[in-house]
Each structure stands twice: as C-alpha cells, then as structure tokens.
Amino acid sequence: MNLHEYQAKELLSAAGVDVPHGLVAYSPDQAVYAATELGGWHWAVKAQVHAGARGKAGGIKLCRTYHEVREAAEAMLGRRLVTVQTGPEGKPVNRLLIEVATPFEREFYLGFVLDRKTERVRVIASAEGGMEIEELAHRPGALIECEVEPAVGLQAFQAREIAFRLGLTIKQVQRASKAIMGAYRTFRDSDATMLEINPLVLLADERVVALDCKMSIDDNALFRRPRLEAMRDPTQDDPREAQAADHNLNYVGLDGTIGCIVNGAGLAMATMDTIKYAGGEPANFLDVGGGASPERVATAFRLVLSDPNVRAVLVNIFAGINRCDWVAEGVVQAVRQIGLKQPLVVRLAGTNVEAGRQILRDSGIDLIAAESLSEAAARAVEAARAYAP
C-alpha cells in the first residue's frame, strides 16, 4: 500500500525528522486558505498522487502570490497527472499539499528498502539529491549503501558514517544522523517495504529537512497497523485490484488480451510465461487461492472480464487443497450469469478432476478443454487471435 507524501511526512515528523510546514487542500479555496495560514511569501503546491517525477509533469508548482496558488490548484485538482511512473492513463489528483517553500543549500538522496535477497534493510544515500534512483545507480560511486542487522537495527555510528560520506560538517552530521535514524524508525515501525526521501535538504541554518517523501507499506502487515490502513486512498489504485482485494483475490492488471484465472501464485506465473511462449500476452495475474469456491471463481470471471482488452479466458486449475468439481461449478455459474462471449479455455488437473470435467461436459457450455498447460496456452492464444467482438 502506498502513502501520499503528506501522510509519509506525518510519520516522519512523529519520529523527529524535520519536514516543511504544510497543509492539505481539496479545493482551490482551501489551497489559498492553507497558504494564508502557513504565512510566508513563497509556497509549493504539490499534487498528491502515488507516483514520482511529479515536478517534470507539472504536478509541483512554486507560487509567489495567493492568485498563483489558486491558479495552480485549479490546474491540478480534478485532472489526471501523467508521469513516467503512472503510464499513459495517469493518476487522479484529488488533494494537494501546500507547503512553505524554503530555499536550501544542498540536496541529498536517502532511501530505505527491504532487500529480500539478503533479508536485510538496505540504506541507500547519495550526495546527488533530486535525481531518480535509477539515474543514480548508473553513476559510478554515486551511491552510499549499508545493510542493517535485524537483531540490533540501524546503529548511530552507521548513520554518522553515511552523513560523513555525504560531505557534511560535524555539526551538520549530528542533524543528518538524527534524520537518518528517525527515518529508519519510521520505516521499521510502519512495516514499510520502501521509504524514499528525495531530496533530503540542508538549509542555510544547517537544519536537515525531508523536502519530499515516498513510502510503501507491506500489505500483509496492515492487520496490525489499522492507523496506516485508514490512510489508503482507493482512488489511486486500479479499481479491479481494489475489487479483488475486497474478495481476497490476488489480481494485477496487465496489457495483454488473454485473461487468466489460476489457483496458486507459482502456477499463475507459469501460466503467464507459457502464454508468452505461445506467442500471446496475458491480460492479468489472478490467483484465486486454495479455497476456490464456486462464488470465488464467478467473482474472478467478473473481474477478468471487466478488462475490455480481454479476447479469451484461460482457466488453469491444479487442485490439491482445491477441488476441480468446485471450480467447474464456478465456471458454469459464471458463464451463465455473465453471458460470456469470449472464447473459454479450461484445463483441470488434480483432486476430483474427472468429476469436474463431467460437470463441464454436462453443462452444455461452449468451451475448449485442454489436457496440459502448454496445450491450454496455445489454444487460448489461437482463440484470442480469431475472436471478433
């Protein structure tokens, strides 16, 4: 789950990290009111979307008058912001962060990420702030990295070492170390998978301030973080993924034409790979899980068919905990309720497979039965190419 910038800054501030003074606005009038409440003569109007590179896309405006604040708010609110990270569809802008724009002396990059390969939290920093991490990674010597031992957490000496390597003075190192330690506590105590402060800036009075922040929380930990779960903004999510989450289905929308309904994440990945090998493109990743009841299978069908690009549907079930007869009943129920027009390819294997196949044969539904995954993928690709809506 991603957080908005202002939400991440609230968490950072609670951990002792300095952040700019700011207020959230949902309308141009509120934006102007926020600027008057904050005071000063310069403000940054920031679109709150779950994507980076907002500045290059017009999602951040520096304003010198209340009139400019209103114009910037009117230009952003109610529109979709398209950045290099959103794709061509963009993200809706429903709220803004109004901050006092403070000049700074230097900018840095600071990030924390869960490194699943080493099973450690990896701290990444750079003296070249304001740039995307992908760009920094290609600059020799630009990145400063260290790993955090889980048993003891990030130590103060590690934070100081990072700060010294950023080229700061002793006084500045003390303040930067405090910011680094506070950011780590925020990462740890929120069950985050990523926290990125870009840029972390040094002001003229030698304060170290988090000027921008991106943060992602582990969905599997939200059951013990109700406060964070309440921060979810469903308008920023793919509505199909949100619907899938409501039914405990794992769904990720893709750009292909073959809808996939599979049980088990590993089998779902293998199914997508086999479709690609057969010359097709999967339209989604969808794992219906181990307890795929007829109702869950029917819900999965509706979810897959909500994508207008789907030209064929492939159901691939290898039943262990699951039962093929349950899945077959779900397929029949879904096709009859929805009125499926696209070609349907079904491959069943495992527990009660013969009973499941018999249910499909007796249903009278027009479908293509396959014995193996490779056959199912090939038939689905062929059917998708031949389908004429």
Annotated binding site: 46, 99, 102, 107, 198, 212, 263
Catalytic site includes residue 196: yes
Give the ranges where 77-125 is alpha helix by DSSP (H): none
Rounded to whole angstroms, how far apart are CA atoms 196 and 166?
16
Tell me how far CA of residue 376 lies from CA of 44, 81, 250, 341, 369, in angstroms. 54, 39, 22, 18, 8
Angle between helical axes of 5-14 and 170-189 (0-180°, round to 10): 110
Pairing of strands 91-92, 96-100: unpaired
Cis bond upstream, residue 389 (ω within 30): no
Strands across the sheet with 96-100, in order?
A: 22-25, 96-100, 43-47, 60-63
Binding residues for ATP: 46, 99, 102, 107
Rounded to whole angstroms, how far apart are CA atoms 225 and 237?
19
Give residue for tokens 């809506």.
389
DSSP state of 13: H
With residue 22 as reference, give the H or E element that holds it. strand 22-25
DSSP state of 298: H
Binding residues for Mg(2+): 198, 212
Active site residue: 6, 109, 184, 251, which one?
109
Taking alpha carbons only, the member of 17, 5, 19, 136 closest to residue 145 is: 136
What the block records as the tokens of 65 is: 């008058």
Active site residue: 5, 6, 184, 196, which one?
196
CB 34 within 8 A of CB 20: no
Rounded to whole angstroms, how far apart are CA atoms 265 and 271?
10
Rounded to whole angstroms, how far apart are CA atoms 256 and 368?
20
Taking alpha carbons only, the member of 365, 342, 340 closest to residue 257 is: 342
Binding residues for substrate: 263
Catalytic site includes residue 74: no
Rounded to whole angstroms, how far apart are CA atoms 198 and 138?
17
- The residues annotated as belonging to the active site are 109, 196
